[in-house]
Chains A and B, each alone.
Chain A
Amino acid sequence: MQEQIISIIAREAVIDADQVRPDMTLDELGLDSLGLVEMIFSIEETFGVSVPFNANEGQAGEFDLSSVGAIVGAVEQLIAGRGAAVA
């Protein structure tokens, strides 16, 4: 799953996936506000989850966007939560 998320982020940042490290921030990747919204949309479509993100709250919202690794963790939590909700 980490690989899939990194490939989504790399596509939005227009760089190769092997250049994306878990400790990198979105700023370091050069992702702008539109790229961020598209990245979240891709994650939602790929994993069938709803990401709680409001552009007005930026990185201060409940979905952790502080680094690539944090995003992977947050998506894992969303998927686990979805499983629990279905069960």
Chain B
Amino acid sequence: MRRVVITGAGTVNALARDVPGTWAAMAAGRSAIGALEFPDVERLSIRIGAQVRDWRPEEHLDRTRLSLYDRFTQFALVAGAEAMAQAGLAAAPGDATRWGAVIGTAGGGNGTVNEAFRAVFAEGRNRVHPFTVPRLMNNAAASHLSMQWGLTGPVFSVATACSSSNHAIGLAFQMIRAGMADGMLAGGAEAMLNFGGLKAWEGLRVMSPDGCHPFSLGRNGMVQGEGAGVFVLEEREAALARGATILAEVRGFCMTSDAGDIVMPSAEGAARTIGGALADAGVTPAEVGYVNAHGTGTAANDRCEAAAIHAVFGARAEQVPVSSTKAMHGHCIGATGAIELLACIMALRDGVIAPTIGYEAPDPDCRLDVVPNAARRAPVEVAISNAFAFGGLNAVLVLSAG
């Protein structure tokens, strides 16, 4: 079977606008959560988030094209450019019809929708920007990446809430492994931090008004972030032949559905997905040196996820390092798995495990080694990344050192 490696990584998130800066912030255990700044924020009950501040897209992107790009597409294009540069690519190597892109997003051009609704409903205007539709569509980021880099193979978007990124990366992995493509840009992008976007979220009563404390006793909800993570995935032999630097190998993937509740997670479904991904990778739980948790900081997710880790890892459940990096970069929804994959790559490459910051006290329902509050040095051969989405959709990736 063909093997699949990651040869490039790029990101924009509230911690940093690139991968080295994000790794440095994760290793330092820095939080980017703070007061949100956008019009009408005073009308929200939830006013904190991990926002990409002072974002000036014209510094990164072609000004003549900017009116076509929603904020989520801007993040994806900047992350994609970093990933391609890191992979040493100015275009698809070889046959561009064998290269594609798959980008996960939950809200797509949510900011564009917010602005258009404000214009017609709140301000009573009868005209919106002519590019409202091509900006807001969920596939905009994937399509602009394909145009930017001339990728004429399979290009599409996936929208599976908080699992979008893991689904995107997992599908890219499977397509390359199966021979349907030779290389893919894969990841996720999200930009929902605006008045309408947050107003919808606060209605569900799952957001914390004051901070993100994954797996910690007394945690009171999630804090939203924004950004993008984009990776270059390639067939391993071709990558080695062109002398590419291998950041990590994608070893396995599993996606499942709980078919249960539209918002409540299932420990059984989560455990089945982790187990399925390990089986796909051909590795045992004993070989896993790091679990990047979904760890949203809600009462329900963290309790369920801990139970799932106990079910899969058995006696070792309290020894394997597990961390949620969401207290640093926020829950980036459709982009979150891609940004969190950076923590897995850091663990595999540098032997640095990102911490779960904001950890205050152990919760008897979450008996795990959550690498509390400070990063840890440890050699890691295999890392897994969990994502468990609203809708009961689960996606777990397994990576090993390249």
Q: Decide: B203 and A55 in contact? CB cutoff 8 A.
A: no
Give 7 closest A-B pairs by Cβ, nearest first: A56-B299, A55-B205, A56-B221, A56-B220, A55-B206, A37-B205, A56-B298
Question: Which chain A residue lies CB-closest to B205?
Answer: A55
- What is the CB-to-nearest-CB distance from A44 to chain B, in angstroms, rounded to a whole number? 10
- What is the CB-to-nearest-CB distance from A79 to chain B, in angstroms, rounded to a whole number? 19
For chain B, residues 51 to 73, give those with C-beta under 8 angstroms from any C-beta of chain A: none
For chain B, residues 215 to 260, give those with C-beta under 8 angstroms from any C-beta of chain A: 219-221
Question: Which chain A residue lies CB-closest to B302?
Answer: A56
- What is the CB-to-nearest-CB distance from A68 to chain B, in angstroms, rounded to a whole number? 20
Q: Decide: B220 and A54 in contact? CB cutoff 8 A.
A: yes
For chain A, residues 39 to 74, give those with C-beta under 8 angstroms from any C-beta of chain B: 40-41, 50, 53-58
B45 within 8 A of A: yes
- What is the CB-to-nearest-CB distance from A61 to chain B, in angstroms, rounded to a whole number? 9
B263 within 8 A of A: yes
B264 within 8 A of A: yes
Q: Decide: B299 and A58 in contact? CB cutoff 8 A.
A: yes
B262 within 8 A of A: yes
A86 within 8 A of B: no
- What is the CB-to-nearest-CB distance from B91 to chain A, in angstroms, rounded to a whole number? 48
Query: Interface code B289-333, partner A: CB below 8 Å = 1, 0 otherwise?
Result: 000000000111000000000000000000000000000000000
Q: Decide: A34 and B203 in contact? CB cutoff 8 A.
A: no
B138 within 8 A of A: no
What are the residues of chain B within 8 A of A54 when measuring CB–CB? 205-206, 208-209, 220-221
B1 within 8 A of A: no
- Chain A residues within 8 Å of B, Cβ to Cβ: 33-34, 37, 40-41, 50, 53-58
B204 within 8 A of A: yes
For chain B, residues 262 to 283, give those with C-beta under 8 angstroms from any C-beta of chain A: 262-264
16 further A-B pairs in the complex, CB-CB below 8 A; given A55-B221, A57-B220? A33-B264, A34-B263, A37-B205, A40-B205, A54-B208, A54-B209, A54-B220, A54-B221, A55-B298, A55-B299, A56-B206, A56-B219, A56-B220, A56-B221, A56-B299, A57-B299
- What is the CB-to-nearest-CB distance from B305 to chain A, in angstroms, rounded to a whole number? 14
Interface residues in B, total, Cβ within 8 A: 16
- What is the CB-to-nearest-CB distance from B36 to chain A, in angstroms, rounded to a whole number? 18
Of the candidates A40, A41, A57, the one having the most CB atoms from chain B within 10 angstroms of its own CB is A57
What are the residues of chain A within 8 A of B208 when measuring CB–CB? 54, 56
What are the residues of chain B within 8 A of A56 when measuring CB–CB? 206, 208, 219-221, 298-300
Q: Pick from B205, B219, B299, B300: contact of A53, CB below 8 A.
A: B205
What are the residues of chain A within 8 A of B205 when measuring CB–CB? 37, 40, 53-55
What are the residues of chain B within 8 A of A37 when measuring CB–CB? 203-205
Of the candidates A40, A41, A54, the one having the most CB atoms from chain B within 10 angstroms of its own CB is A54
Q: How far is the CA of A33 from the CA of B45 in the complex (A)?
A: 20
What are the residues of chain B within 8 A of A55 when measuring CB–CB? 204-206, 221, 298-299
Q: How far is the CA of A17 from the CA of B264 in the complex (A)?
A: 28
14 A-B interface contacts by CB (under 8 A): A33-B264, A34-B262, A40-B205, A41-B203, A50-B45, A53-B205, A54-B208, A54-B221, A55-B204, A55-B206, A56-B208, A56-B221, A56-B299, A57-B220
Question: Which chain B residue lies CB-closest to A52?
Answer: B45
Q: How far is the CA of A40 from the CA of B208 in the complex (A)?
A: 18
What are the residues of chain B within 8 A of A53 when measuring CB–CB? 205
What are the residues of chain B within 8 A of A58 when measuring CB–CB? 299
Of the candidates A33, A34, A40, A55, the one having the most CB atoms from chain B within 10 angstroms of its own CB is A55
- What is the CB-to-nearest-CB distance from A80 to chain B, in angstroms, rounded to a whole number? 21
- What is the CB-to-nearest-CB distance from A82 to chain B, in angstroms, rounded to a whole number? 15
Q: How far is the CA of A11 from the CA of B258 in the complex (A)?
A: 28
- What is the CB-to-nearest-CB distance from A84 to chain B, in angstroms, rounded to a whole number? 20
What are the residues of chain A within 8 A of B219 when measuring CB–CB? 56
Q: Decide: B263 and A33 in contact? CB cutoff 8 A.
A: yes
